[in-house]
Each structure stands twice: as C-alpha cells, then as structure tokens.
C-alpha cells in the first residue's frame, strides 16, 4: 500500500506545476525549531500588506493583524514546548524563505497553499493519490494533527505537522491529504519516548535521524515506529441546515432573562438583609424613593432581557450561510501590534485598535480576528474587556493570504464562571446541542398519546406476557438519586427436579424496561431518540434521550407500579457457574417492583447488618391473576383455558403508537413486538418430576406450555389450591416481607461474588477509577465534594448486568440473521502502544505482558505484589491511557471480542431508557424470538422419562438455532429478513447507527469529564485555599514531571519553575492562595528516573533536598486559576509545609482506596 502511495505521490509531484509561493507555504513541513521564524516572517508579510481581506485597509489594521498572527504563533510555540516538551523533528526540512523584495513591493504573498478543486480531490482519492479522513489536532501538541489511514487501519496515522501543512483546516474537519515523499517521514515520538531523558535534560528523541532507505522507512511504518507525513490539500465543508442553526438558539435565548432573574434574587436577598440590619439598628432602611427607583430599574432590566430573548429567537445569522465546524466558544482579547503581554492579560482595547482576538476555549482551534465594529455590537468599546464573558464566534473566511481567519460574533453565551454557561460550553463543544433542546411539541404530543394508549391497554397486553406479579420477588438497586430505573432482578431457589437433580440450583431473572414496545420505529419519538443516541449526565443536570412522559410513566421500573419488561432467566449453581443443561430463556414479561433499594442500604444488609424500621425502604405486595406465569420449578405455566385459546389465536400485539402519530414507511413491515401469543415466548421443560405444570403426561400446548386448567377441571387428584400452590400462582404468591427480601439480597450477593471470581479467573481485566460527587446549592453551584465508594453492592448489580448482556449477545449471534447483530467490542492495545509501554516499564525493572487481558491482569497483580501500591496505581494509570474506548459494531461475518471483559460476545441490553443501542438490541432479539416461534414445528415433548431432561440449547424453539454459516436461504427466511430490516435497519443502516452511537457516547463522556473538571475548579476557587492531595510521578521529562492524582482521577504536568520565576509560574493564581505556596529553588536530574528538588526555608535558614523517582509518591497542591475556562494547576508541596506531613500520612490509605474502586462500567475501558 505504501509503495502505491509513494509512486502516485511521486507522479503527482512530477506532473503538477506548483507556484513558488504555494511550494514555499504548503509543500514543506517546518520543524518546531523553525516555528518562531515562520511566525515572525508571516507577521512581517502581513504587516507589509499581505494579510487583509480588503487591499485598501489602512496600515494600522495590518500591523495589528500582524501582531495577532505573531503572538498567536509564538504562544502556540510556547504552549507546545511547555505541554509537550517537543524538540525539532528528525529529518525535518529547512523552511523556504520568501524574498524581502516582494514584501517591500507590497505584493500579497500566500501564507497557505490553495486547495485543489472538489473534483480533483474526489478523483485523487479514488485513484489513491490522496487520502481522506478526519483531522485530529493533538491536545498536548497543538502544532501536530493526525488522520487515520482508513484504507489500512493497522498502520500508524498520518502526521500533519505544523500550521502550514494543516492548511487552514480545523480540528474535526474531514480533509483530503497528499502524502509527502518518504524522505520527509518522521520517527514516532510518544509520551514514553519523551520520558526518556538524560541527566543534562536532552531528550533522546531529539537526536538526528539516521540516513534510512525507503524500504526501511516502510518497515518502520508497519512497526509503528515511523509516521507518514502529509499536507492538507482540500477541506470538505457543508452548510448548516436550518434545523442545525436553530439548535444554537434555545440554549442561548433565555440567558439574559435568567441572569436578570438571578440578579433580582440577589438584590432581594440583599434588601432582606438590609431590612434585618435596619430593624436591629445596624443600618438605615432605604427610603421609598430609592426603593421605587431600584424596582423600576429591575423592571427595566427584565424588559430588556425579554427583548433580548425575543430577538435571540430569530437572530439575523439564522439567515446566513453558516458552515459545519466553524462556530466556536471564545473569549475576547485586545489585539496590539508588537504586544509582549500574555494573551490572558491583554484585556484593554485602545481607541486606535481595529481588530480583536477571539480566543477559543479549545486550545486546538486557531485564534479568530474580529473587527472592532463587529465587537461593538456586543460590548462597549474602546475600554476594558471582561475576559469572563464568552461568545459564540463564527469563522467567516480564511483565505490563503491570511495567517489567521476572520470571523464575527453570533451571540453572547454568558459569564465563564456561571453554571449555566459551563453547561452550555460542555454541550456545545461536544456537539450535543440537540440534547439541550426541549422535546418538540409533536414529540411531546405523541409521547402523551403513547402513554394514554398504553395505560388503557395495559392489562390486555399483560395477559399476552409472562406475568411475574405475585410469583417472584422483583426489586431494584440503584443510586439514591436515580430517576430512570432500567433494570430489576429476582432470585429464586428451585426445588429438586430432573433439571436440578440433587445439586441445588438457583434461578436468577434480569428484567429490563421494554422501551422498544413503546418506541415504534415509525414514530417521531424514535427519530429524536435516534438522533440523541444517549442520555447525557452532567454534574448538575441530566439531558434525557427520551421524553420524560415515557421514562416516568411507562418505562422506569418504579416501586409498586406494574411495568412491561424484557426478561432473561438463567440458572446457576451455588458456586456461581451456569447450569449448562438449562439454556437461558428470553421473554416479554410484566412485573412490579416490590422494593426499591439504594446501594448504601444494600451494602449495610449484605455486610450482615440491618436497617432501622423507619429507615427501611417501602415494600409493596404485587398481585395479579395471570394467564401465564412461572412455576416454582421455573417452567412457564398457562393457568386458564382462556389464555390458551387467546394465545393460539395467532393475533400479534399491536403497536402502542397511535395510528394518527405513525408515519408511512417504505418496504414490508409487521407489528414489532413479538407475538402476543403467550406460547410464542414461553416454553416448558416437560420433564420436571415435581412440576405440577407439566407432570405425568398431560397434553402440552403448542410451544410447550402446560395447560393446567383441563387437568384441574377433570381430575380430582388435587384441588385448585394445591395446584396453584405448586406453581406459585396468585393463589399463594411468594411472600413479600422484609426478611424474605433481605434473604434474597444476601443470596444474590453470595452468588455474584462467585460469578465475579470466575469472570476474573477467566481473564477479565480489573480497572480502577475514583469518582467525585459534588454537593450543590439551590443554584447548582458546588459547595462540597466527596469520593464515591464503589462497594460490593455496586458489583452485585454489575455482574448480573454483564452476564445478561453476554447471554443476549450469544443469542443474537445464534439467530439466522446474526450478521445484523449489534454488539460491543473493546480493542486490545495497539502493537506500537504495547511495545512502547512494555519498553518503558522494562527500563524501570518491571516485567510486563499485555498480550491479552488475562496476562494484563496478572501483570497488574504482580506489580502490586512486588513494587507496591504506588507503582500499581502508576502502571494502571498508564495502561488506561493506552487503552481505547469500547465501541458498538455490527457483527457481519467477523466476531470481535471485548478485550477488557475477555468476552467473545458482548452487547448492551440493560439500559434502553438511556442508550439507543440497547433499543436496537431489544428489537433484534425480539425479531429472533419471533422467527423461532413462527418456525415451531416439532411435536410436544414426551414426559414419560422425567429423569432425562431435554438438551435443547435454545428457547423457546425446540430446534437448535441456526449457527453462523448455516443460514437457511429459504424464501420464508428471506421474506422475514426483509421485514426485520424494515424494522431494525439493514446492515449499512445499522453500521451508521452504531457509528453515531459511538460518537455520541464518547462526546457525552467527554462532556461529563469537562463538567466535572470545571466544577472542581470552581469549588477550589470558592474555597480560596489550595487542595493538598497525593500524587504519583508517572514520568520525568526534560523540563517537567507528569503526575497522576488517584483521588481526583486527574493527570497533569508540573513544570520545573523555581522561586525566581514565581511571578510567571503563579500569575493566574489568586494572590491569597499564592501566599500558601512555596516553590523549589532548584530542580536537578540525577538520572533518567530520578530528580532532586531543592527547597529553602528562608525564615529559618534551612535547606532540604527532596528526591523523586518515577512511580514514587509526591505530595502536591491543586491550585485554582482565574483562567477562562476555570481550571487548576499543580505544584509540589514544600517539605517545610505542614500539609506535606499530612499528605504523606495519608498515602497508603489513598492508594488502597483507589485500588478498591472497580470501574463502574468495565466495558467502557
């Protein structure tokens, strides 16, 4: 592949006649060492007259734009050096300089290469000359960007080095690349390479590249040791649709109104306080005239806010042609030619200024120049700028003659320290605007109608399902604050039978809200859920995927409220192993939770304690008259002739979506829910010696349901009460008492402990993570925080959900349309990452094996045993960085396992209220069961030999499900497949949906991470004292050390800045906090893994040397900054500080706590 690339690139370069200006700007890849010269030359060229959109603008504006360009690139260089400690790339080319004569003549010189045409880009991509992909700018090295090789994913990414080769593309753009000649490729430099430093501070990665042959370079690329460099020749852009532009409005339209309301509330509180003080004689009350003026001013502000909101609902820019990925959240700064001040200090706009700089919050985005006339529409200028005010800025134009783009302000977002602004920033920057919109009136009306129809037809639908009310104690376990309860469980000891024999067996049921029953693929509500894909959980607010009416009224499994569920039953031995002879059963059910537990309550109970009567959760005693239910033996039992005749009628359950709300769909379709026929989803073992539902040769119903009613009416061996007692029917329900429910909890705990042990013995990987939880005031501002403890009560539910997901995945793969199965994969460590991490750890004397999850877990356990908890925390932190996130995919013909869980098959089935992928899985599973019911053809099972239970591996079908490669290509199957695709989507559509679910899930995760970081920074800033905590040194670099904070789950760099540079190092820290912090007087490396930090206490005339090593503990301060957005930085704590001894005393406890916090979602590794 590389040879084809090289030959076509060579041919392209030999045939294209590039202009000298284009060649100078776009055909070279300047090194880091040349970046400053590039910035200076570019700025001088702009100053000479080449940097404006209009040739006739005055020289002062050009000088200011030059100053912005120079400052931007200089600051980018400084950030890159500080954050990445990157030296010049090996084998880099020298920059081609333009002549001074051209600048003096005032000619406009191109700063970037012109794009090829759209037709050329498309043709070149098809022919293999160009490569297409999504540009990802490095967060740590903003002058580097990467593009995946979609044609050969096993090879390393393409490197786009420098701003010129990036050619005006933004992070997230779809770009077309032209690959550079192999002589210009670069050796791979990763974080572990940067950690290999010499004692004099020179990085080993900075040595010159040896002369290499083409074949050697290609081999290094395959090994992941070299990166192919490329330049952007075309950027794909598109216009935003009107709907996409409207999404920017609702989050912003009421900002001024809310601010006015908050200010009025503050004023009212101040007035009350003044009134109280006046009553006490401490202060005079306001006179009537002043009070009336104050109220008049408040009313005027409210009117202005309402007018602003009204205008914001129909802003002028809705009629503009805005482009995708060209709107960014920014703060404004002054732009002065030859400015030497730091960007965050440049807050004054002078009368002769004509341009402002818009600084995006995302450091990967270039600065944007805003004309002063444009900014004056939003802020009173000239004068000081409020750097806390954030604006939504659009990039209007960026031509090849300008180093920086030009833009305009779309709207004001809010103050950077406002909770509402933080919320909007987190959502907008992660492309989650749709979640912030209220559900449309059409969707709300439809969901209300769905609720109405579902409530009216509930009992009718319940008779078509397995009714668990009164026959199983079903309960939920969730966080105390949880609102959406997706899952419930039950546990039931089985009597001796042909299945159980003399070995005790326990039935476990996992019951999931049947969202897909209500969410028809034909309705508007489904379309909106498909667009959102996931519920977004921020620190202080939840943005649901589904309308609240569906979540609360129909789906969420609340206490004492009967609900429709999709259930999985399986049997286990007392040692936690699955009963292989009894296959898991999947069926539609109706249940009612008898108790709602939270994790804290469950932990007390499984630890052997009890809850005071007034603190116990409420118990409910469900009751029903089911048509079909579960017997004590675990078999499905029909209890009345009516149910049997009704079930054999062949009438499928209708969709609960009213016809008025459903829209036409192309292609064949069928009612989505599996057959309402109870026999479609129930089966009986037919061989339980003690099962009165199917014992002694009674006639079996189609599908294996024993029709007990005939026997009850014609035989006098037992009366109805005896028979109902045996099946656990409503005649005598399972007792719902506090003692019984607690016994169920403790039984489940004992079983899941064994299940968990077996999972890790089979090779699952155990990862740890600390989770911060914030206490909030009435305005959602953080007042305190604590660490959430991940206890055994959490793992109880997790193990059951993991097992249910795994069983559903196996069932989907066994279906005749397994190629449509939506599954979950977790990729192993990439070869280059595995080798880099292994080499880095081996130099520290740590032997590793990351070839599989089993060996990885053994490595982590070995490190903890031989090196201690501190090293174990460090190695796990590095491993988590190297691992990628799990992804949804469509099975097709290739099964991709889950690395962290060590499961060959895995999916998501257990959270359909908050994940759209689970809805897809529910639909596919229901279709699989529907197909098997339609093909039920074998005669009833003989019960003459109860000692030999049937060995069918599936349910409800008697015949074994079709395995991969054994699909029947019958006309009936093909017709059914078309119906399945009409409901669930074909393979291409499912792959697109999986890609969208992956993107939204990762965006939601990043938004949650961003919000947590902002809240922590705000809380620390409110405290006005530094946070002292335990840190672990992950690696030493040239001018910094990388530290991981296990109790905050944060990683950050500490630069080697001493007391001499105190003003620069702590410039963004509050002066009151600075007084609590001392900085070292000297940093000195003694080896590649050891650092000496020299401290001085001038008051007492004492000196002390602190020695830090890779993977050693280091007490650190977390200092809030006044930057935008709110953030924090780290410094080492002086050994002379009392906080130093306090943190050292807590180290062992902190590490032990972290290593006991299993990650709440192991598949998210």
Q: Are both 182 and 229 inside the same structural domain? A: yes
210 pLDDT tier (thresholds 50, 70, 90): low
Q: Are both 252 and 233 inside the same structural domain? A: no
Q: Are both 182 and 54 inside the same structural domain? A: yes
- On the question of pLDDT at 678 being above 60, the answer is no
Q: Are both 321 and 184 inside the same structural domain? A: no
Q: How far is the C-alpha of 189 from the C-alpha of 166, rounded, in Å?
A: 19
pLDDT digits (tens, 9 = 90+) for 1005-1057: 999 999 999 999 999 999 888 999 999 999 998 899 999 999 999 999 999 99
Cα-flanking dihedrals φ and ψ of residue 1012, to 5°? -60, -40
Lowest mean pLDDT among 100-109, 348-357, 725-734, 1145-1154: 725-734
658 pLDDT tier (thresholds 50, 70, 90): very low
Does a structural domain hold residue 795? no
Residue 480 burial (10 A CB sphere; 0-12, 13-18, 19+):
exposed
Q: Are both 50 and 81 inside the same structural domain? A: yes
Confidence at residue 195, expressed as pLDDT on a 0 to 100 scale: 54
Q: Of 268-277, 925-934, 996-1005, 1153-1162, which has the strongest mean pLDDT? A: 996-1005
- On the question of pLDDT at 748 being above 70, the answer is yes
Question: In this structure, what is the dihedral angle of CA atoms 606, 608, 609, 610, given to the nearest 10 degrees?
Answer: 70
State the CATH number of the domain containing residue 108: 2.40.50.690
Q: What is the mean pLDDT of residues 405-418?
A: 92
pLDDT digits (tens, 9 = 90+) for 21-44: 333 333 333 333 343 333 333 333
Q: Which two tokens stand for residue 242?
A: 């009107």
What string of DSSP letters covers 1-45? -HHHHHHHHHHHHHH----HHHHHHHS----GGGHHHHHHHHHHH
Does a structural domain hold residue 1015? no
Does a structural domain hold residue 760? no
Confidence at residue 840, expressed as pLDDT on a 0 to 100 scale: 93
Average pLDDT of every residue of the chain: 77
B/e letters for 714-726, b = 16+ CB within 10 Å, e = fewer, are: eeeeeeeeebbeb
Percent of the chain whose pLDDT exceeds 70:
70
Confidence at residue 223, expressed as pLDDT on a 0 to 100 scale: 80
Q: Which two tokens stand for residue 929?
A: 């069961």
Does a structural domain hold residue 482? no
Residue range(s) defining the domain that contains residue 231? 2-238
**Closest to 143 measured CA to CA, from 36, 227, 237, 226:** 36
Does a structural domain hold residue 1124? yes
- Of 662, 683, 708, which one is at a domain's C-terminal end? 708
Confidence at residue 632, expressed as pLDDT on a 0 to 100 scale: 75
H-helix or E-strand containing 928?
Answer: helix 916-934
Residue showing tokens 């609340």: 558
Does a structural domain hold residue 388? yes
**Closest to 636 measured CA to CA, from 671, 599, 674, 688:** 688
Helix, strand or coil, per DSSP, at residue 1016 = helix
| pTM of the full structure | 0.80
Cα-flanking dihedrals φ and ψ of residue 802, to 5°? -60, -45
Confidence at residue 731, expressed as pLDDT on a 0 to 100 scale: 34
- Of 655, 689, 708, which one is at a domain's C-terminal end? 708
Confidence at residue 950, expressed as pLDDT on a 0 to 100 scale: 29
- On the question of pLDDT at 1104 being above 90, the answer is yes
Q: Are both 207 and 79 inside the same structural domain? A: yes
Q: Of 12-21, 106-115, 434-443, which has the strongest mean pLDDT? A: 434-443
Contact between residue 379 and residue 389 where contact means Cβ atoms under 8 Å apart: yes
- On the question of pLDDT at 750 being above 80, the answer is yes
Contact between residue 563 and residue 551 where contact means Cβ atoms under 8 Å apart: no
Residue showing tokens 């695709």: 981
- On the question of pLDDT at 757 being above 70, the answer is yes
Confidence at residue 734, expressed as pLDDT on a 0 to 100 scale: 65
Q: Are both 172 and 255 inside the same structural domain? A: no
723 pLDDT tier (thresholds 50, 70, 90): very low
More confident residue, 522 or 127: 127
Q: How far is the C-alpha of 748 from the C-alpha of 226, rounded, in Å?
A: 52
pLDDT digits (tens, 9 = 90+) for 907-955: 999 999 999 999 999 999 999 988 887 775 433 322 222 222 323 222 3
Q: Are both 176 and 60 inside the same structural domain? A: yes
- On the question of pLDDT at 257 being above 60, the answer is no
- On the question of pLDDT at 668 being above 90, the answer is no
Confidence at residue 277, expressed as pLDDT on a 0 to 100 scale: 46
Q: What is the mean pLDDT of residues 256-274?
A: 51
Does a structural domain hold residue 303? no
Half-sphere exposure (Cβ direction) of 902: Cα atoms closer than 13 Å:
17
Q: Are both 217 and 319 inside the same structural domain? A: no
Q: How far is the C-alpha of 1151 from the C-alpha of 874, rounded, in Å?
A: 10
Lowest mean pLDDT among 302-311, 504-513, 856-865, 880-889: 302-311
Q: Is the peptide bond before 956 cis (omega within 30 degrees of 0)?
A: yes
Q: How far is the C-alpha of 506 from the C-alpha of 1143, rounded, in Å?
A: 48
Contact between residue 971 and residue 706 where contact means Cβ atoms under 8 Å apart: no
Confidence at residue 913, expressed as pLDDT on a 0 to 100 scale: 96
Q: Are both 248 and 136 inside the same structural domain? A: no
- On the question of pLDDT at 72 being above 80, the answer is no
Q: Which two tokens stand for residue 1072?
A: 């009151």
Does a structural domain hold residue 353? yes
Lowest mean pLDDT among 148-152, 608-612, 771-775, 975-979: 148-152
- On the question of pLDDT at 222 being above 90, the answer is no
Confidence at residue 1008, expressed as pLDDT on a 0 to 100 scale: 95
Confidence at residue 269, expressed as pLDDT on a 0 to 100 scale: 54
Percent of the chain whose pLDDT exceeds 90:
53
Name the DSSP letter for residue 93.
P
Q: Looking at the 3D structure of the chain, how many domains does it have? A: 5
Walk across the sheet containing 1127-1132 and list its strands: 1050-1055, 1040-1045, 1027-1036, 1113-1121, 1127-1132
State the CATH number of the domain containing residue 1096: 2.40.50.140
Q: Are both 1075 and 1141 inside the same structural domain? A: yes
- Of 818, 852, 882, which one is at a domain's C-terminal end? 882
- On the question of pLDDT at 995 being above 80, the answer is yes
Cα-flanking dihedrals φ and ψ of residue 774, to 5°? -105, 140
Q: Are both 220 and 256 inside the same structural domain? A: no
More confident residue, 770 or 624: 770
Contact between residue 504 and residue 497 where contact means Cβ atoms under 8 Å apart: no
């Amino acid at each position: 592949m590389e040879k084809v690339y090289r030959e076509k690139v060579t041919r392209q370069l030999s045939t294209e006649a590039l202009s000298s200006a284009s060649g100078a700007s776009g055909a070279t890849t300047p090194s880091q060492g040349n970046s400053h010269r590039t910035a200076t030359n570019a700025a001088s060229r702009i100053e000479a007259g080449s940097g404006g959109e209009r040739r006739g603008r005055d020289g002062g504006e050009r000088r200011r734009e030059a100053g912005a360009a120079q400052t931007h690139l200089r600051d980018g260089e400084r950030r890159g050096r500080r954050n990445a400690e990157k030296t010049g790339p090996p084998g880099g080319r020298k920059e081609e300089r333009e002549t001074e004569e051209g600048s003096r003549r005032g000619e406009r010189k191109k700063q970037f290469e012109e794009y090829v045409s759209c037709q050329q880009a498309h043709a070149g991509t098809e022919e293999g000359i160009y490569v297409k992909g999504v540009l990802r700018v490095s967060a740590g090295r903003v002058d580097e960007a990467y593009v995946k090789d979609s044609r050969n994913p096993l090879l390393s990414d393409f490197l786009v080095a420098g701003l010129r080769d990036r050619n005006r593309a933004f992070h997230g753009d779809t770009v077309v690349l032209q690959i550079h000649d192999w002589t210009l490729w670069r050796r791979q430099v990763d974080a572990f390479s940067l950690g290999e430093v010499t004692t004099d501070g020179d990085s080993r990665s900075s040595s010159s590249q040896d002369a290499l042959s083409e074949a050697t370079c290609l081999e290094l690329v395959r090994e992941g040791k070299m990166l192919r460099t490329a330049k952007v020749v075309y950027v794909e852009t598109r216009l935003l649709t009107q709907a996409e532009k409207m999404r920017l409005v609702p989050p912003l339209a009421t900002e001024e109104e809310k601010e006015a309301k908050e200010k009025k509330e503050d004023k009212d509180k101040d007035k009350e306080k003044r009134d109280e003080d006046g009553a006490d004689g401490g202060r005079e009350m306001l006179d009537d005239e002043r009070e009336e003026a104050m109220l008049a001013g408040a009313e005027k502000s409210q009117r202005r806010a309402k007018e602003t909101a009204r205008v914001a609902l129909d802003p002028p820019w809705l009629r503009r042609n805005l482009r995708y990925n060209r709107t960014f959240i920014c703060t404004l700064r002054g732009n002065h030619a030859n400015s030497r001040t730091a960007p965050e200090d440049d807050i004054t706009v002078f009368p002769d200024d004509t341009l402002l700089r818009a600084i995006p919050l995302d450091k990967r985005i270039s600065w944007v120049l805003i004309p002063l006339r444009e900014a004056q529409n939003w802020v009173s200028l000239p004068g000081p700028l409020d750097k806390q005010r954030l604006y939504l800025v659009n990039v209007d134009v960026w031509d090849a003659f300008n180093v920086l783009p030009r833009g305009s302000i779309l709207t004001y977002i809010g103050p950077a320290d406002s909770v509402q602004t933080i919320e909007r920033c987190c959502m907008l920057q992660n492309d989650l605007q749709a979640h912030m919109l209220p559900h449309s009136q059409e969707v709300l009306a439809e969901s209300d109608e769905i609720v109405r129809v579902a409530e009216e037809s509930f009992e009718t639908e319940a008779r078509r399902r397995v009714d668990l009310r009164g026959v199983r104690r079903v309960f939920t376990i969730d966080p105390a604050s949880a609102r959406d309860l997706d899952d419930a469980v039950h546990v039931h000891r089985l009597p001796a039978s042909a299945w159980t024999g003399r070995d005790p067996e326990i039935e476990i049921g996992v019951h999931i809200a049947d969202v897909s029953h209500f969410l028809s693929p034909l309705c508007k509500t489904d379309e909106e859920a498909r667009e959102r894909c996931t519920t977004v959980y921020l620190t202080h607010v939840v943005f649901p995927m589904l309308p609240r009416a569906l979540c609360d009224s129909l789906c969420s499994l609340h206490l004492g409220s009967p609900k429709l569920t999709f259930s999985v039953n399986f049997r286990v031995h007392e040692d936690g192993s699955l009963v292989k002879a009894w296959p898991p059963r999947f069926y539609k059910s109706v249940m009612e939770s008898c108790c709602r537990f939270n994790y804290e309550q469950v932990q007390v109970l499984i630890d052997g304690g009890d809850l005071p009567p007034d603190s116990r959760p409420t118990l409910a005693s469900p009751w029903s008259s089911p048509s079909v239910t579960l017997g004590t033996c675990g078999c499905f039992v029909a209890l009345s002739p009516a149910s049997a005749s009704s079930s054999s009628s062949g009438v499928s359950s209708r969709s609960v979506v009213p016809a008025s709300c459903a829209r036409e769909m192309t292609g064949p379709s069928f009612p989505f829910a599996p057959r309402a026929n109870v026999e479609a989803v129930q089966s009986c073992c037919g061989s339980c010696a003690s099962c009165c539902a199917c014992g002694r040769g009674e006639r079996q119903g189609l599908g294996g349901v024993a029709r007990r009613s005939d026997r009850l009416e014609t035989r006098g061996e037992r009366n109805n009460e005896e028979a109902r007692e045996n099946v656990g029917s409503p005649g005598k329900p399972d007792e719902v008492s506090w003692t019984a429910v607690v016994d169920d909890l403790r039984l489940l705990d004992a079983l899941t402990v064994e299940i968990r042990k077996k999972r890790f013995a089979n090779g699952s990987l155990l990862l740890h993570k600390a989770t911060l939880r914030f206490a909030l005031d009435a305005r959602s501002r953080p007042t305190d925080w604590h660490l959430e403890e991940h206890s055994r009560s959490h793992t109880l539910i997790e193990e059951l959900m993991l097992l249910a997901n795994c069983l559903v995945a196996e069932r989907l793969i066994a279906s005749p349309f397994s190629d449509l199965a939506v599954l979950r994969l977790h990729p192993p460590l990439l070869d280059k990452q595995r080798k880099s991490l292994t080499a880095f750890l081996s130099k520290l004397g740590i032997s590793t094996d990351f070839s599989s999850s089993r060996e990885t877990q053994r490595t982590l356990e070995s490190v903890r045993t031989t090196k201690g908890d501190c090293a174990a925390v460090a190695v796990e932190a590095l491993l988590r960085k190297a691992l990628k996130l799990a992804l949804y995919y469509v099975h097709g013909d290739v099964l991709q396992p889950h690395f962290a869980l060590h499961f060959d098959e895995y999916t998501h089935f257990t959270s359909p209220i908050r994940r759209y992928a689970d809805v897809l899985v529910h639909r596919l599973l229901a279709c699989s069961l529907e197909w098997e019911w339609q093909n039920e053809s074998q005669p009833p099972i003989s019960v003459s030999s109860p000692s030999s239970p049937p060995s069918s591996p599936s349910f409800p079908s008697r015949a074994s499900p079709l395995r991969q490669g054994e699909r029947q290509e019958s006309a009936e199957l093909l017709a059914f497949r078309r119906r399945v695709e009409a409901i669930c989507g074909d393979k291409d559509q499912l792959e697109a949906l999986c890609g969208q679910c992956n993107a939204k899930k990762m965006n939601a995760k990043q938004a949650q991470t961003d919000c947590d970081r902002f809240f922590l920074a705000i809380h620390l800033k409110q405290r006005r004292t530094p946070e002292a905590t335990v840190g672990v040194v992950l690696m030493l670099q040239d001018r910094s050390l990388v530290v991981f904070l296990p109790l905050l789950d944060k990683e950050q760099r500490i630069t080697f800045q001493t007391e001499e540079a105190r003003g620069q190092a702590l410039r963004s820290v509050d002066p009151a906090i600075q007084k609590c912090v001392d900085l070292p007087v000297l940093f000195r490396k003694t080896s590649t893994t050891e650092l000496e930090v020299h401290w001085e206490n001038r008051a007492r005339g004492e000196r002390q040397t602190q020695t830090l090593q890779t993977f050693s503990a280091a007490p650190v301060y977390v200092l809030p900054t006044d930057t935008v957005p709110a953030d924090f930085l780290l410094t080492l704590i002086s050994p002379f500080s009392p906080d130093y001894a306090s943190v050292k005393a807590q180290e062992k406890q902190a590490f032990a706590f972290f290593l006991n916090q299993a990650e709440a979602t192991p598949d998210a590794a």
